[in-house]
Amino acid sequence: MQVHKCKAILERNESLMESNILTVSHNKEINLANGETKLNVYVRVYTSLFTSGLVAKMGSNRFTTLMALASYMDAQGECYPTQLQLADAIGVHKNTINKYINELLEFEIEGKPLVTRKKVNRGQGKISSYYKIHPLSQLAKFKGEVEIINHKISDEQITDGKDKLITNGSDELITTNCDVITIKNNSQLIINNSSDAIKYFQKVYQEEYGVNYTVSNYGREGKLMKDKVLADHKEMAKEIIQTGIKRYSEFSNNPKFPRPSIGMFGWAVNKIIPLIEEERKANEVALNSVNLEEQAELEMLAKLEKLGGGQ
């Protein structure tokens, strides 16, 4: 007798009370065959994103990139996916996603950006990008709010953030939408103990597979995290966990274990680290390319300013 899998879908809608705020849906699915649960959290997309003409002005590349970023954001609109993650999300090459991201960062409405980025220099050639999706984007998550657009956006309101330059009081030029900062205290980027490591593993696992990861033995799995990941690689523990989950199929083809588990860190760390180094090099090449482009543009702007001053 064939057994059919059934799903009981329990949905809870949370109204945010304000008349101009849409509804957040938390959708919880239970597979009655195996008891597995799946929790989905949705990004709110306001109809004004389309009725205002914002999507039409952005174009498909910027819009797709914005939505891919939004899938990672928190209630404050902040997120830090890698370029490879974004490229995979929308099905393009990593060099293409770099171009799309820069186009999105340049896009502004009346001088206000939809998305800004901070490139964080973590030392030793380690650079991370942190993004913030602003309320003007008409996207929100949890109890985040948007900046309502009540009018049709015109071509005159579209500005290009890349060419708008400000100074910080010195001769150094800083682009409006991309601040480069250095963090000497990386405590917020480091997993400090095995409990944090397990929680982060569960978070990334749920994002990747859409199901919760159940820890079978906290003592054993916590010891694995402590001895194999944190003991020698504490500063890159998040990268090891994330890469181990996201790129699991690249270093493991055991059909008995189609998905990663914390137990894999007993043997896989030395396989994961080369993948991280490969991704860092790719990101560094992409970043250098962007920096060269920006430098060339700054030099061109300086020449144009000189020519204008001479007239």
Question: Are residues 55 and 177 located together in one domain of the fold?
Answer: yes
pLDDT in tens, 71-82: 888 888 899 888
Question: Are residues 98 and 112 located together in one domain of the fold?
Answer: yes
Dihedral sign of CA atoms 135, 139, 143, 145 in order: positive
292 vs 284: CA distance, rounded Å: 12
Question: Are residues 25 and 131 located together in one domain of the fold?
Answer: no
Biggest alpha carbon–alpha carbon distance for the chain: 88
Question: Are residues 177 and 107 located together in one domain of the fold?
Answer: yes
**The pLDDT of residue 304 is above 80:** no
In a domain, 300, yes or no: no
Question: Are residues 140 and 24 located together in one domain of the fold?
Answer: no
Q: Tokens in use for 161?
A: 């953030």
Segment 15-34 mean pLDDT:
45
160 vs 198, higher pLDDT: 198
In a domain, 293, yes or no: no
**The pLDDT of residue 248 is above 90:** yes
Question: Are residues 104 and 120 located together in one domain of the fold?
Answer: yes
Domain residues for the domain of 28 are: 7-41
If phi > 0 it is left, if psi is from -120 to 50 it is alpha, else beta; for residue 39 that is beta
Mean of pLDDT over the chain: 76
43 vs 22: CA distance, rounded Å: 11
Question: Are residues 172 and 228 located together in one domain of the fold?
Answer: no
Question: Are residues 50 and 36 located together in one domain of the fold?
Answer: no
In a domain, 309, yes or no: no
Look at the pTM and tell me if it is higher than 0.85. no
Question: Are residues 113 and 229 located together in one domain of the fold?
Answer: no
Q: Based on the number of CB atoms within 10 Å of its own CB, is 139 exposed (0-12), middle (13-18) or buried (19 or more)? A: buried
CATH number at residue 80: 1.10.10
Domain count, the chain: 3
15 vs 24: CA distance, rounded Å: 7
85 vs 97: CA distance, rounded Å: 10
192 vs 27: CA distance, rounded Å: 32
Question: Are residues 150 and 203 located together in one domain of the fold?
Answer: no
Whose CA is closest to 122, among 273, 293, 284? 284
Do 77 and 132 contact (CB within 8 A), yes or no? yes
In a domain, 289, yes or no: no
pLDDT for the residue numbered 178:
42
Domain boundary among 148, 182, 216: 182
Domain boundary among 147, 165, 182: 182
Segment 226-236 mean pLDDT:
92
pLDDT for the residue numbered 309:
57
pLDDT in tens, 143-179: 788 888 877 888 777 776 644 433 333 333 333 344 4
Of the given ranges (23-37, 54-68, 182-196, 242-256), which has the lowest mean pLDDT?
Answer: 23-37
In a domain, 90, yes or no: yes
Question: Are residues 25 and 63 located together in one domain of the fold?
Answer: no
Question: Are residues 210 and 274 located together in one domain of the fold?
Answer: yes
In a domain, 69, yes or no: yes
